[in-house]
Amino acid sequence: MNGAESLVRTLLAAGVDTCFANPGTSEMHFVAALDRIPGMRCVLGLQENVVTGMADGYFRLARKPAATLLHCGPGLANGLANLHNARRARSGIVNCVGDQATWHRPFDAPLTADTEGWARGVSHWVRCCRSASEVGPAAAIAAAVAASAPGRIATLILPSDTCWDEGGVVAAPLPPAAPAPPDPHAVKEAARALRQGEGVLLLLGGAALTEAAQRIVQRIVAATGVAVKAEMSNAFVARGQGRMAIERVPYPMAQAIAALAPFHTLVCVASRPPVGFFGYPGGPSLHSAPGAREVVLCRPEQDVLAALEALAEELGAPPSAIPPRGPRPEPARGAPTPEGLARTLAAVIPEGAIVADESVSFGRGFYAESHDAPPHDWIHLTGGAIGAGMPLAAGAAIGAGGGRRVVNLQADGSAMYTVQTLWTDARERLPVTTVILSNRAYAILLNEYRAVGADPGRTALAMMDLGNPELDWVRIAGGMGVPAARAETLERCADLLRQSFAQEGPFLIELLLG
């Protein structure tokens, strides 16, 4: 058995049965092993940032890690942006990165790079194998690290001779690190804070936004009247009928400061203090009220459900059902607006759907208008590195299984970073409806330009303009095998959404804004 065969067999034994890949010469023995050994679903991405983004989306729905297959240091480097997002989402991923043969490295061939150094910035664990006998045991560790709570990134670097040489060993699966139990002292401190009454905010993140966690949060809210918000960027939020109507901390600094001003105490549940995305001249880094106290109930790596349950028990919170939502909204009419699109989506989205949201600027107010939709799940861009939405949607479709429809709310500028995902959608016949929010501009940059006190002139505006020449998304999608149509009104958008939900496979809607 060679090293590559031991790698595949060890990963399968550990439950890693999906591989998102963009292989090259150094990975051909791994590809050959995948060809010979059944059980691994292999999904080809045409650029490594698509590959790593799909692995992120997969974990968020499947709740188990997939592997990636990346070509040497430059291939890893191409995937770093979405590995950064995956790390912020606390997604578990096993990266398998090919490299020069151990004896070829000293000759400094063109693809030779500091692969380990590049991997460390986005990985919780990095290992470079030196022989075929090391591959299987290292793969077992990598799989266990990736599956450890709440999800971690493990990067395994494989010089090509460690894959083609004989001497591979299939390693037995190792147990991943379980979530740490809640701290009883933290539970009591959080309960004391919640008993203060007004001015206390329960700030939720991570696993505190799942459906099971929200049921416990509802008990706490009913017993104390505490206000609840979610972090601005979240890996996963259960939303719609039967779930809480939770709003996020706003993205813009002024809005975030205003939203958090009433609270003198923040009880953090698997969340971080509300730090702004950027620092602005004269603005604060923390958006909570000056002097506000932060009480940590639990960290993301702890057992969040157990911590919430312990808090509910400490408060003597009786059972309490989540209040029913209002009637499902009717589709909006007329020219597209953020509120109108949110209502339209809530009106037509199928139960159990998944929304992959990289709407960036246009979609900041979507939540308020979509609480009354059928039960669905929502996943966000978490790390701020744009180009996540399309791969997240593809990975989520594969991770969720069962044909669940995924709606990708996608800004046009960020879509161009990973547009190759459309090809994978078509190849895999994924149930993904991509809605391109086509404003033909980097709208977020215009907002940020003004936020730092500058007034954009001709040169600045040209740097943020995507309309010269215009991107024709219907033709782009068609060229990658995805049927597409254009909408200029919300009525047309609703019709196209329904059409896409009624068919198998992917569909793209270019929604013209303004």
pLDDT in tens, 433-453: 999 999 866 555 555 555 555
Burial status of residue 247 (CB atoms within 10 A of its CB: 0-12, 13-18, 19 or more): middle
**Residue listed under structure tokens 């001497």:** 167
Q: Which residues contact 387 (CB under 8 A, 6 or more apart)?
A: 49, 53, 81, 82, 414, 417, 418
Question: What three-state secondary structure class fits 358?
Answer: strand
- CB 360 within 8 Å of CB 252: no
Q: Which two tokens stand for residue 122?
A: 């986005």
Q: Encoding tokens for residue 54?
A: 């799909």
Does the domain made of 338-512 have the CATH classification 3.40.50.970? yes
Rounded alpha-carbon distances, angstroms, from residue 441 to 339, 475, 514: 20, 19, 11
Specify the residue for token string 């490295």: 105
Residue located via tokens 């599956």: 147
Among 483, 507, 327, which Cα is nearest to 431's? Answer: 507
**Sheet of strand 153-159: strand arrangement:** 41-44, 18-21, 66-70, 93-99, 153-159, 125-128
Count the Cβ atoms, other than its own, within 10 Å of residue 225.
11
Alpha-carbon distances of 280 from 55, 364, 402, rounded to whole Å: 33, 20, 45
Which pLDDT score, from 0 to 100, does residue 348 have? 98
Under CATH, which number does the domain 3-164 receive? 3.40.50.970
* Residues, the chain: 514
492 phi and psi, to 5 degrees? -65, -40
Predicted pLDDT of residue 452 = 53
In the prediction, which pLDDT does 457 show?
72
Q: Are strands 376-380 and 237-239 parallel, antiparallel or unpaired?
A: antiparallel
Task: Tell me how far CA of residue 350 lies from CA of 34, 311, 333, 345, 369, in angstroms.
Answer: 36, 35, 20, 9, 16
Q: Could you read off the pLDDT of 150-196 as tens digits, one per residue?
A: 999 999 999 999 999 999 999 999 999 999 999 999 999 999 999 98
Distance CA 28, CA 34 (A): 10
Per-residue tokens: 90: 């606390």
Query: Quick one: pLDDT at residue 449?
Result: 52
Q: In this predicted structure, what is the pLDDT of residue 364?
A: 78
Left if phi > 0, otherwise alpha if psi is -120 to 50, otherwise beta: which for 237?
A: beta
pTM over cut 0.75? yes
- At 25 the pLDDT is 86
| Measured distance CA(75)–CA(99) in Å, rounded | 10
Taking 50 as the pLDDT cut, the residues of the chain under it are none
Same-fold call for 3-164 versus 338-512: yes
Superfamily (CATH H level) for 184-314: TPP-binding domain (3.40.50.1220)
Report the share of the chain in percent with pLDDT over 90: 89
User: Whole-angstrom Cα distance, residue 333 to residue 347?
Assistant: 12
Strand partners, 365: none
Considering only CA atoms, give the Rg of the chain: 23
Contact in structure between 354 and 377 (CB atoms under 8 Å): yes
CA angle at residue 382 from 226 to 84, to 5 degrees? Answer: 140
Task: Give the pLDDT confidence score for residue 333 in this predicted structure.
Answer: 96
The answer to whether residues 398 and 20 touch, using CB atoms and an 8 Å cutoff, is: no
DSSP state string for 474-513: HHHHHHTT--EEEESSHHHHHHHHHHHHTSSS-EEEEEE-
Residue boundaries of the structural domains of the chain: 3-164, 184-314, 338-512
What pLDDT digit, counting tens, does each position of 224-238 carry? Answer: 999 999 999 999 999
Question: What are the beta bridge partners of residue 508?
Answer: 434, 484
Output b/e per residue, 309-319; b: 16+ Cβ within 10 A: bbbbebbebee
